[in-house]
Amino acid sequence: MVTISFDIVTNDICKAWDKSGKSTIEKLIQNRIDEGSTIYNWIGKTKDLRQIIYELTYQTLLGRCKAENFNLLVSSFKEKDENFCSDVVDVWSLIDAELSTIDERKKMKDKFIQLVSSFKDSIDAALLKERFDVETLKELKLIGDTKTFQQKYIKTKTRLFYKQQKFNLLREEMEGYSKLIAELGDLNEKRIKPEILLEIIKSLIGCFNIDPNRVLDLLLESFECHPEFSKSIFVPVLREYLQLCERSTLCHLVGFKFSHYQKTSSTPSSLYIVAALLIQNDLVNLRDLLLHLTPDDESLKTKWNKYVDEVKEEARRSTIMILNPQDKKEDKENKAKVDEIPPNQKFGLCEALLKIGDWKHAVEIMEMFEPNQVLAQKSISLALCQLLHYTIDPLYNRKSPGYRSTCPSMPAYHVTSKRVTNYPDLLADNCTIFDMLLQLGCKTSLDPGLLVKVIRIGKNFFSEYYASPDEERPKLKRIFGNMLGLVSHVILPSLSLLLCNANVSFEVWGLMKLLPYQIRYRIYGDWKNECYDSHPELMLARAGVIDKTKYIMRRLTKENVKQTGRQMGKLSHSSPCILFDSILSQIQRYDNLIGPVVDALKYLTDLTYDCLAFCIIEALANPQKERMKHDDTNISNWLQSLASFCGNILKKYSIELSGLLQYVGNQLKAGKSLDLLILKEVVQKMSGIEISEEVTNDQLEALHGGELLKAEAGYFGQIRNTKKSSNRLKDSLLSQNLALPLCILMAQQRTGIVFTESNDMHLKLMGKLADQCHDTLVQFGNFLSIQLGSDEYNKRFPSIEVLTSQYHTPPDAAFFLTKPMYQYQIATKYDELRKQERSKPKMTNGNSSSSSSSSNDKTQRYIAASEAVIGPLSQQVHQMHDSKIWLDISPRFYTTFWTLSLYDLQVPNNAYEREIAKVKQSIVALDNDSHDGRKRREKERFEALIIKLKDEEKKQEEHHNRVKARMKHERQQWFLAKTTKNDTITKFLQLCIFPRAIFSALDAVYCSKMIHMLHQLKTNNFSTLLCLDRIFTDISYTIASLTENESSRYGRFLCCMLGIIKKWHADKSLYEKECGNFPGFVTVLRANAGNGATKADQLDFENFRHVCHKWQYKLTKAIVVCLESQEFCQIRNALVILTKILPFFPAVTSLASALEKRIDKIRTEEKEKRPDLFALAMGYSGLLKGRKNALVPEHVFHNKSQPKSAASGSTTVKTPTSTATDKKTSSSSNHNRSKSKESKSSSGASKRKSEDKREKTPKESSKSGDSKSKDSKDGGGGDSTTSSGSKKSTMHPPKSSSERDSKRRKVDPSTTTSSTADNSSKESSSSRNSHGGSEKRKEEEKRDGSGKRSISKERKRELPSPTQSSTDSKRYRAENGSAVSRHSKEKDGGKTRRSDGKSKKDHHGAAVADVKKERNSSKDRVGRRT
């Protein structure tokens, strides 16, 4: 089937010939005739005349257009243009040749003969005989005999061209040639014109009958000698001369000249120039001439592919370590070289075309071969560089006036192409600047001057682009894209081939720094991963850099950092990405190289530092690297090494951080928290702020001082040496607006680790990631609060309402982030009030009380300022929790608790004194060398530092006093206690203490100080005793729910609380002074007592010592439960907490022995199985043994005298508290209480029974929580400090608060007189009875009939006997609860309790006898006390 493309005479035109097709074709033909498009200059034209005739002829042959219509069209234009018929016949001759040679079109030959025959009347027959083949003429019947016609044609041609005349002798021709040579040898464009020269040549040919072909050859020889006359003389002469002969003659003649030099010697450059000029002026066709040139295309491609393969092999060998020196020498000799290529006429012609400025034909030759093959020749690349110099020089001079231009001079025969003067010219149709530069590529490195010109033009364009308004940028988008292409494929690859040119590197950075880091990093990625594979020379350059880098890294040590650093600097100027990729791969394997490498990278340029940041991000984001070790519980070493390297390198050198910070933010947004290790290291190294659980007590004390004290004594590193790096980090965060997003993402990711990221994650790893995320949040928040100014911080961070509602930030993190903001608002409001008071007229009342009134005014101003800020904030906080929460704790207290810090509650005077003493010692050390100027300046700095520290201490002291006054002012509104005190303490611990105690080490200390402060302020409705009891009672569940760092902070909190208790326990006078008349230690709650609590209402010193022992026992019991749980996290957390509270726990020898036994067991079991637990146990064991001298026996820790009792044979002690209570209570109240105690004892027995049953197995203890809470209701013990109840109530409010409220309102307040002191004395005697009657209990257990002992019972027997039995301690805690609820339950009578007891007897089986005995013994004790 015939396949012809009809672009002009389409099928639609043929179908609508009569309507519109004919007029369309006539219009096209007329336009071509008017433009002068003849048959000889149609090349390159679109819709030329020959194409129209060609397509119209084929449409007629295919039957889509009628022959009559075609004939009419030719007839109509025959009169308009005398050459039209000649053009038609010329096209037909081409079609005749196609129909004779192409098999698919031979079937159309008959139709073609018919078509041409129909035109005999329109077209002259002589024209047809001139153009058509003999066979076609015969078919057209224009000739008779073919043989006769052929013979006649040959004879005529021979006579005209080949027959030599007798009179045309050699001597006659020489005169003609000599005259011609004389004319061509004395050429001058001013003296002779082309028309005159052509007439002279014609006359010489005609006069002397010399050969026209030899004349043409002499013209070419003269052209070679005078190429500068190409435009003025030779090209016009040759163009007219070729009108007299065939055009192909010139091409063949030039080809014969090239063929002559293929066998003899190298082709002269003048011949290349002449050929290029002939091609440029369309006198010779390029493809026709290439057929005469050598070598052939296939051999050139074969040689190139061989060379590329050799380069790849060389690059591969460079990555392999060769141990044999002989092999190394052979490898160096076998390196491939591009320039060792035999003479190449085709490439020489391409070079000549570039020299004369003919890019169109030069690129045509380049596209015939493989990419980069032609420009691999140095001479061709230099020729193209010269052409580019000439073209862009006007634009360069205009946009870079401060630099001197180095444009080379062009030869006279150079064809002046359009030069670029402004940026829009770069997009002109005939402008090929971008194409030439992209084709040149990395070979621009051969001309550094041109490379710098291109860089500076690009730099100026990018400056104008980013400075232009947004509405003008779309016009420059195309140029912007092309400029980026030049940077990616020309500038940076050329830099790779420039050896150690730092100046060009600085020029490139001047351009690159104008681009956003996103575009820069994309360009670096193309440079590193794609460009080096696009050119053989770049492959060799990469291989060389890798080889040299390995050589340097093998010899890098701390001693030769300077020398190796210079070598790295030289390599980095050309190929920084390849250098850093190799260095980072070794750093990830060997972390001991981090220090030397960081020191060695000080000779880099800004561009190479920017490439280093990109390479670090690329290494972090490598998907082929496993981020976890094989055990899936630890982060991989390569990631830790890379994070450490990031922190060190970013601190020491000015590297842009935006990309790295954005990468961490993107990872957090994707729910991946492993890369927070990077941010943690960066912030720690650049700011000096570190979050470590191993911080010393002195450091912790300094951290709640002023900023100066923190910087001097609060951190392990020197924070004052990080000012510049801290500012750089801050500027990067603010410029990219990443400060707030990173904080919010980290706050959200803390919970995301547990609920989203930990599907297939090991529990140990999950805890580590949670700690890392939390620590990084605290560290990052502290950095922002220090570095950002208060005003800046206040502007950039939203309110807490926005953080919690819109961004779903947890309350603890939200308060942590907004705390500096509210402190700043209070300070600002304070300053406003002070200015307002200063503007008012002053009243003169004397100077006697001026100082005191001034301090009072300051305090009142501070309270007013706090009220103005905290008041609205309290309203916002109200929406964060359920409304039931605020029945016990006011939003005001909740806000005050979370917005204050340890800086507000305590002044670290000791830390200030220590630091001042240290500075004074430094001054003394410098006094001996006072003549040294540097040391003298250092001494002056130390003296100024002492003054600043003292001023800061004084300022904090004043602030502390104002805060304390504010707290005294607000304390009445803090604890509302609308339900019960137990619920109040529960919510206080749940919402305030526990979340903040595990937030940071500083917050852990803050929580303990806040509890102490609440106690000292005698805060209404706050029971210090109940709070402490809830903190120390059954912490096993709390321990199990913590991570490693949280357990460390929780242990620090417990240590501080134990330290406070230790002071009170050790000194009776101190206890009486700080606790004796304080409402926090009231043990009897009177509804009508008001604030007038008597001595009998307080817990006396000895009973407090009993309670302290109980707390020690409870801590021991909870920790033993965790140590025996076999769970990794529980054991680890317990050991961490034990280490933290070691200064105050254990304090009793027996408890320490029990702990030591468990620790020894862990050491034995975990030595091979879990080495980390073994190490913790070994460390604590050694510390515990070292503290044995400080332990005391139990009878020393608290009074444990045991007098005999006549009634029951057990020891009871009547403490002074119980005696005083007995004297003050009336007989009726004693009778009621004894009756109540009887009912309590019965219910207590049932409780003991159920408790014994619950202690049989650990599983049953967890199931019986509901029954315990029910028993506590029936028994009148509303206090949640019961041993079972405290396990669940530590984190959740009790469920029965409303029920207890309804019962309390029905009771007569005058009858509510329950004495906890009696109960405490009773419990102490009962505990001693339990110790003395252990044998009796063993017999009762034998009578129990079970014969089985659960694990919990065995554990309990191993523990020392507590001061209270399980039953008495439960009764003690029940009686410490609300007296109102207890009394209301007593009025219900003993029948219900007895029925309850009976119902419980049915469930306990053989334990009924034990319950009766216990009930009788309790009745006896109550009777004796009454």
Prior bond to 1146 cis, omega within 30? yes
The answer to whether 343 touches 265, Cβ cutoff 8 Å, is no
pTM (two decimals)? 0.69
Residues for the chain: how many in total?
1426
The pLDDT of residue 452 is: 93
Q: Max alpha carbon distance in the chain (Å)?
A: 173
Quick one: which of 443, 486, 472, 465 has its CA closest to 399? Answer: 465
The answer to whether 311 touches 336, Cβ cutoff 8 Å, is yes
Distance CA 88, CA 53 (A): 6
DSSP 330-386: HHHHT---SS-----HHHHHHHHHHHTT-HHHHHHHHTTS-TTTTTTSHHHHHHHHH
Quick one: which of 1049, 1050, 1057 has its CA closest to 692? Answer: 1049
Two structure tokens written together for 409:
């001079």
Long-range contacts, 1223-1229 (Cβ 8 Å, 24+): 1224/1094, 1224/1096, 1225/1313, 1225/1315, 1229/1311, 1229/1313
> Does residue 1098 sit in helix, strand or coil?
strand
The pLDDT of residue 848 is: 46
Q: Which residues lie closer than 8 Å to 1053 by C-beta, 6 or more apart?
A: 997, 998, 1004, 1005, 1007, 1008
What is the H or E stretch that residue 544 is in?
Answer: helix 536-554
The pLDDT of residue 1406 is: 35
CA distances 1201 to 1155, 1195, 1331, 1382, 1421, Å, are: 26, 8, 12, 31, 18
Name the DSSP letter for residue 887: G
How far apart are the two ends of the chain, measured CA to CA in Å?
127
The pLDDT of residue 253 is: 92
Long-range contacts, 188-192 (Cβ 8 Å, 24+): 189/229, 189/232, 189/233, 192/233
The pLDDT of residue 130 is: 82
Number of H helices, E strands in the chain: 73, 0
Residue with tokens 């009726």: 1228
Q: Which residues lie closer than 8 Å to 1051 by C-beta, 6 or more apart?
A: 1136, 1137, 1138, 1139, 1140, 1141
**CB-CB neighbours of 741 under 10 Å:** 17
Residue with tokens 């100082």: 851
Tell me the chain's radius of gyration from C-alpha atoms: 51
Low-confidence residues of the chain, pLDDT below 70?
1-3, 36-47, 163-173, 189-190, 318-343, 416-417, 631-632, 714-721, 757-759, 840-855, 928-933, 1084-1096, 1201-1426
